Amino acid sequence: MSHIKYLLLVSRQGKVRLMQWYTPLTPKQKTKIINDLTPLILTRKPKMCNILEYNDHKVVYRRYASLYFICGITNNQDNELLTLEIIHRFVETMDTYFGNVCELDIIFHFDKAYDILNELIMCDGSMAESSKKEILNNIHAMDAIQNNDHLDRVLS
Amino acid sequence: MTSLYAPSAEDVMQRLRPYGFFFEKSLKDLIRGIRSHNDTPEQLEMFLEAQLSECRKEANSSNMELKTNAILKLTYLEMYGYDMSWCNFHILEVMSSNKLQQKRVGYLAASQSFHKDADVLMLATNLLKKDLKYANSNDVFKVGIALSGLSTIVTPELAKDIVDDLFLMLNSSRPYIRKKTVTALYKVFLEYPEALQSNFDNFTSKLEDPDKSVVSATISVICELSKKNPAPFIRLSPLLYEILIDIDDNWIIIRLLKLFTNLSKIEPKLKGRLLPKIIELMDSTNAASVLYEAVNCIISGNMLDETDYDVAVQCLEILHNFCNSQDSNLRYISCVLFYKIGKINTNFISQYDELIMKLISDVDISIRLKAIELLRGIVSEDNLRLIVSTLVKQFVGDEVAIVETSRGVSKEIPIVIPETYKIKIVDVILYICAMDNYANVDDFEWYNAVLYDLTIVSLDLNENKLGTKIGEQLRNLMIRVPDIRNITIVNIIKITSLESVEIKLPSILEGCLWSLGEYSTYLENGDALLRLLLKKAPHMQYTTQSTTIIALVKLFITWCNRNQDQAVQIKAILEKLVNFLSGLNYSKSFEVQEISLQMYEILKLSLEALEEQADGFPLLLSEVIPSFFNSYELTPISLGTQRQLPKGIDFDIDLPFLTNEQLDEVLKGQESLAEEDTDIYDSDRFSLASVEHNFISNADYSDGSSDSDGGKEHFDDTYKDFIDESCEVEHKKEMLSNPFYLGNINDTNNNNKVKDILDIGDDTKEDSINSADIMKLSKDHAELKSQVEAKKKKNKMKKKTKMKVLSDQVIVIPGVTDSVKLNGRKKHVSPSNSLLSNKINLKKHTKLEDYNFDNSKNDNDEEIQELEKLRSKFQNQNLDNVKMDDNNNEEEVIVIKKKKKKKSKKDVPSKKSKKDHKSTETTPEVSAEPLIDNAKSE
C-alpha cells in the first residue's frame, strides 16, 4: 500500500493548484518543500523516471497535460508504482466527474477536487476507495444533499 | 429624491441573498481576478492583499453564507501562502453549520488550518461528538465529512475524548461509515495507543468484515501501524495469510505484502510459510507493481539468506527484465532493489556487470545515481578501467537523449549532469579503486593519471570532502606503493602547483604536502618547490598551514643537506623560511601558532649557526634537525592499533639522549666530515635506507649518488618517460588544456625548454617558478626509474605482475585483547547522506512506536481501577475545597494535567515500573498540593 505524506498539484508555471498534507508540518516547512520541489520537478525531462529522492523521502510525480501531480512518500516502505497508480486513479475520477477534466476545472472547483481526493485517499494518506464508481456515487450523493440545502434555502 | 421607506442598497442585498444572489466576490470572481492581475508580481500582491482584507471583513459578518464564502476564499488563498490560522474560530462556526455545503467548507478549511491549535480543538471536541452521531440516512455524509476532518486535526487529548464514539461507529450498518471510521482510527491510535490495546480484538475483527472496502481499509491501517510497531500484529498472521490466499484484488495483495514485509522483519518463522506463496504469486501475476512488491517483500522482509541462490536468481531475473524495459520508473525501482540484494551478498549481483554498465549510461540521471552505487558489487580487475573511463567521460557532458515528441518527431535533448552526480562519480571512482587495498588496480601509473584528472574535475565542484579524499589517496599511494613513488611524487607536485588549488580545493593539499615533506628525498631541487609553497602558504587554510610548516622544514633540510656547497642559496631560502614563519607566529589558529613558533626558533638558531660558521656546515642542519624526521620509515598501520597501546608507560625523562662521550664523538665526526661534505649525506642516507624494509636496496642509492655528473641527463630521461606515460592517458581533452600533460606535438619543444630553465642561473628561477622545474626527480632514482620502466615494458609484453602494495600492518601488543580491533575498512559509508543539510524530516515520532503492548489486560484493569480511586479521591478533595479561590483551583488542575501528559508520553517498560511510578509521584501530587493551599487560605 502507499502511504502518501503530501499531495501537490503544480502547474507548469509553478503555481500550486491543490495541496493536501497528510503529515503535520509547519507552514515554513510546507513552503520549503514546495519551493524546493517545484523547480526540481519542472526541469525534469520527459524521458526521466518519475521518482526522485528528496531529503529523507521519495517523491513520485506524474504529469498530466499542464499539471504535475506530486506525492511525497516514505523511502523504502512505499510502493512507487502504486503511488503512480493512485495518482492516475485520482485523475481518472476527476475526469469522469468533470467530464474531460482540465486545469481550469481544478482551479475553479478546487473544493470539489478536494472532496474527490478525500474520498479516494484517507486522512492518513492511504488509499481508501479504489473503486471509481463508488467514489463518484458518494460525491454525487453529497452534491444532491447540497443542492437540497440550496433549494431549502430558497423556499424558506 | 428617495422616499423614506425606499430600501437602501444594503437592504436589497440582504433580501436577495437567500435566492442565491451575491454581491460579494465569490470564489470564481477571486480566481478570475487573480488571473487578470497576473502581469506583475506587485500587481498580484496588491490584489491579493485587498482580497484578503475583504475576506477578513466578510468572515466577521454574522451572515453564514458570507462567512462560508469568505472561508472558502481564504482556503484558496492559503495555497498562495497566506496564513489563515487567525480565522480558526470562524472556521469552527462554519463547521457547526447544519448545511452540508457549509460543513464541507468548514472541515476543508479546518484540515488545512488547524495545527494543534489547542484552544480551537477544545471547542471542536463537542462539535465533533455531535457530528459523529448518526441519526438518519442523510447523515451518512455528514459523519463521513466529520471523520475525514477529525483525522487531520487529531491530537492526543482529542483522541482520548473521541475514541469511544469511534468504536461505537465501527459497528455501524453502513459500510461507508465503517470504512471511514477504520481509517480515522489510524490517526487516533498514533496519538493514543492505549485505545488500540484495549480494543484490539474489536478493531481487528474488521478484517473479516463482509464489505471488501472495509477489509481493505483495515489492512491498510494495520499495515501502517505495523510500520511503527509490528509486534502486536504477529498473532494476526494466520488470518492475514488466509486473506492473501483467497483474495485476487491486486490493491489488497500489495498492501498485504507490505504488511508481511513488516511482520517478517521481526518474526523470522513467517518465512517458511510465506516464501513459497510469494514465489507462486510471482509466477502467476503479470502486474509489474505486484511483482515489484513481491520481490521487495522477499528482500526487505529478510527472507533472502546469503546462501539462497535460487531465490536470489529468481528475483534478479525479474529485476533484470525491469531494467531492460522502456519504462524509466521500472528501471529506477529495480536499481534500488538490485542494491539491496547486493548488500545481502555481493556475489548475487556480480554476474550482472553488463546490465549495470548499461544502467550507468542511462539517459536518466537519477537512475545513474542509483546504478553507480551498484558498481562496487561488480568491479573487478578486468573491468575497472572500463568503468572508470565510462564514468570520467560523463564529465565532459555532451550526451544527448533522444526523445520522441507527441507528433512522432524525435528530438535531441542534452542531458544535464548535476553537480551532485559529479561528486558521486568522483567518490565512487575513488572507492572502487581503493577497494580491498587496491586489489583491482593493476597499473598505478594509470591510477595516478586518474587521480590527476579527478583533481582537475573536483576543482570546479566546490565540494571540499573530495579534496580530502583525493589527498588521502595520493598519500596512500605514496606510502603503500613504494615502486612508483617517483611517479606519484611528480603527480603530487603537479597537483600542488595547479593554479589556485589552495583556494578552490584546499583540502587536497594536506595529503599532498605531507607526502612531499615525508618523501622529500625523491626530489632533486627542493628549493624551487620551497619557493612555490612559500608563495602559496599564506593563502592556505589553518589546518593545511600546520601541515605545510612541517613539510617545508622537511623539504628544506633534505635539500640543504644535499647542496651543502651552495651556502648562499641555503641562506637565502632559510631567511625566507624564517620570515614566513615569523609571520605565522601571530596566526589566529592556535595549532599553527604553536608549530610555527617551534620551527621558527629552531630555524633561527640554524640561521645564526650558518652565519657564524662561515667555513663549514652547521651540525644543527646536518644532524640534529634531520634526526627529527628520519629515524624510521612510516608504514601503514591498521586502524585501531593506537587504541591497543598499553596505558601508563613510564618514561625516564632524566636519561640524556647522548652521553658525554657520544657527544664528543659526534662533534669530532662533524669536524672531520665537514671537509668532504658530500659524503655526509650519503652516510646519512645509508643509515636511513637500512631501516627501510620494503624499500629499494642500498645498492641503488649508492650507485645513483656516486654518478653525480649525469644528473641532468638522467633527469631528461625521466622527464621524457613521464611524457610517454602521459600519452597513454585516455582523456585527450584535458591533456590539451593542461600544461602538464604534454602532448606529442609539444614534446621536443618542452624538453628544450626544460633544458633552458636548467641552464639559466638561479637568480632568474626565483621569478618564474615553474612546476616543470620543480619536477626534477632525484638523480638517485633515475636508475630505479629506468628499472621500473623496464619492468613495465616486460609487463606489456605479456605477463602482468602486480605491483607490490603494502597492506596495513597489524601490531599485536601482548596482553591486549583482540576484541578492541576495528574493521574500519569494512564499514559501509554512504557518502550521499552527509551532503544534505537542513533536512525536512517526514518521519514523525509517534507514541505508538515505543508503546508496549505486552501489558496484559489484567494489569491494565488494575491500573484503571487505581486511577479511578485516585480520581474519586481527588474529586472529593475538590469538593472540600470549594471555597478555594478560582485562581488556585485552575492552577491545580493544570498541574495535574501536565503530569498526566508526561506520564502517558513516557515509555512503559514494564508494568511494575509504571505502577511504582504512579505510587511515588501521582499520589503525593494529588493529596499534598491542596493541603498546602488550604493552609494558606486559612
Q: Dump pLDDT digits (tens) for B113-129.
A: 777 666 777 788 888 88
Chain-wide mean pLDDT for chain B? 72
- In which element (H, E) is residue B9 found? helix B9-16
Beta pairing partners, A64: A67
When pLDDT is cut at 50, 70 and 90, the band that residue B880 belongs to is low
Which range is most confident: B333-337, B696-700, B904-908? B333-337
Collect all residues of chain A within an 8 Å Cβ-Cβ radius of residue B243: none
Dihedral (C-alpha) B153, B155, B160, B162: value to the nearest 10 degrees?
-10
Interface test with B, best of A67, A82, A140 (most B CBs within 10 A): A82
Of all residues in chain B, what percent carry a pLDDT higher than 70?
66
Instruction: Looking at B813-885, list the stretches that DSSP marks H as alpha helix, in order from N- to C-terminal side.
Output: 857-880
What is the dihedral sign for C-alpha B625, B630, B632, B633?
A: positive
CA distance A149 to chain B (A): 6
Cα B231 to the center of its chain, rounded Å: 30
What is the CB-side half-sphere exposure of residue B576 using CA atoms within 13 A?
19
DSSP B624: I
3-state DSSP assignment of residue B319: helix
**What integer is the mean pLDDT of B797-801?**
44
Neighbour-count burial of B243, counting CB atoms closer than 10 A to its CB (0-12 exposed, 13-18 middle, 19+ buried): middle
Q: Please tell me the distance from the alpha carbon of residue B858 to that of residue B596, in angstroms, as a whole number.
A: 73
Q: Please tell me the distance from the alpha carbon of residue B748 to that of residue B735, in angstroms, as a whole number.
A: 16
The candidate with the shortest Cα–Cα distance to A21, out of B759, B110, B724, B744, is B110
Q: Please tell me the distance from the alpha carbon of residue B303 to that of residue B870, in angstroms, as a whole number.
A: 50
3-state DSSP assignment of residue A18: strand
Collect all residues of chain B within an 8 Å Cβ-Cβ radius of residue A130: 213, 216, 249, 251
User: Is pLDDT at B831 greater than 50 in this prediction?
Assistant: no
pLDDT in tens, B155-174: 888 888 888 888 888 888 88
Residues 137-156, chain A: which have Cβ within 8 Å of B?
Answer: 138, 141-142, 145-146, 149-150, 153-154, 156
Structure confidence at residue B724 (pLDDT):
40
Q: Which residue has the higher pLDDT, B353 or A72?
A: A72
The set of residues, in sequence order, having a beta carbon less than 8 Å from that of B122 and lying 6+ positions away, is B157
Q: Which residue bears the cell 470564489?
A: B27
Which of B224-238, B270-284, B524-538, B797-811 shows the lowest mean pLDDT across its residues? B797-811
Interface test with B, best of A61, A123, A133, A146 (most B CBs within 10 A): A123
pLDDT in tens, A119-129: 888 766 666 67
Which residue type does A106 have? I
Q: Which residue bears the cell 505486552?
A: B854
- Least CB-CB distance to B101: which of A50, A52, A149? A149
**What integer is the mean pLDDT of B297-308?**
84
Q: What domain range includes position A51?
A: 4-155
Q: Which residue bears the cell 483467497?
A: B246
The candidate with the shortest Cα–Cα distance to A123, out of B760, B811, B108, B216, is B108
**What integer is the mean pLDDT of A47-54?**
83
CA angle B463–B466–B470, rounded 5-degree value: 150
**What integer is the mean pLDDT of B755-776?**
42
3-state DSSP assignment of residue B910: coil
Structure confidence at residue B718 (pLDDT):
39
The set of residues, in sequence order, having a beta carbon less than 8 Å from that of B811 and lying 6+ positions away, is B637, B638, B641, B644
Cα B848 to the center of its chain, rounded Å: 28
Strand ranges across the sheet with A51-54: A16-21, A4-11, A67-74, A57-64, A51-54
pLDDT in tens, B198-215: 888 888 888 888 888 888
- Least CB-CB distance to B289: which of A79, A122, A128? A79
For residue B34, give the chain A residue with the closest CA. A107
Structure confidence at residue B84 (pLDDT):
79
pLDDT in tens, B540-568: 888 888 888 888 888 888 888 888 777 78
Structure confidence at residue B11 (pLDDT):
66
Structure confidence at residue B657 (pLDDT):
72
The candidate with the shortest Cα–Cα distance to B216, out of B172, B250, B191, is B250
Are A145 and B138 within 8 A, CB to CB?
yes
Of all residues in chain B, what percent carry a pLDDT higher than 90?
0
**What integer is the mean pLDDT of B800-806?**
62
Structure confidence at residue B28 (pLDDT):
80
pLDDT in tens, B495-531: 888 877 878 888 888 888 888 888 888 887 778 888 8
What is the dihedral sign for C-alpha B774, B779, B781, B782?
A: positive
3-state DSSP assignment of residue B299: helix
* Contact indicator for B851, B908 with CB cutoff of 8 Å: yes
Instruction: Respond yes or no on whether ipTM tops 0.85.
Output: no
Q: Please tell me the distance from the alpha carbon of residue B330 to that of residue B251, in angstroms, as a whole number.
A: 18
User: Is pLDDT at B586 greater than 80 in this prediction?
Assistant: yes
CATH code of A23's domain: 3.30.450.60
How many separate domains does chain A show?
Answer: 1
Q: Please tell me the distance from the alpha carbon of residue B596 to that of residue A99, in angstroms, as a whole number.
A: 79
pLDDT in tens, B614-667: 667 777 777 778 777 777 777 777 777 777 777 777 767 777 777 777 778 777
Are B141 and A79 within 8 A, CB to CB?
no
DSSP string, B721-737: HHHHHHHH-S-HHHHHH
Q: Please tell me the distance from the alpha carbon of residue B482 to that of residue B807, in angstroms, as a whole number.
A: 12
3-state DSSP assignment of residue B896: helix
- B129-167 in b/e form (b: 16+ CB < 10 A) is eebbebeeeebbbbbbbbbbbbbbbbbbbbbbbbbeebb
pLDDT in tens, A13-39: 888 888 888 877 777 888 888 888 988
The candidate with the shortest Cα–Cα distance to B632, out of B584, B570, B689, B552, is B689
Instruction: Looking at B324-407, list the stretches that DSSP marks H as alpha helix, in order from N- to C-terminal side.
Output: 328-344, 346-349, 353-359, 365-378, 384-396
When pLDDT is cut at 50, 70 and 90, the band that residue A69 belongs to is very high
- Least CB-CB distance to B289: which of A47, A82, A107? A82
The candidate with the shortest Cα–Cα distance to B516, out of B786, B787, B771, is B771
Structure confidence at residue A124 (pLDDT):
61
**What integer is the mean pLDDT of B679-706?**
39
When pLDDT is cut at 50, 70 and 90, the band that residue B868 belongs to is low
pLDDT in tens, B218-260: 888 888 888 888 888 888 888 889 888 888 888 888 888 988 9
Q: Residue B644 CB: number of other CB atoms within 10 A?
A: 17
Structure confidence at residue B872 (pLDDT):
66
Are A79 and B331 within 8 A, CB to CB?
no
* Contact indicator for A8, A18 with CB cutoff of 8 Å: yes
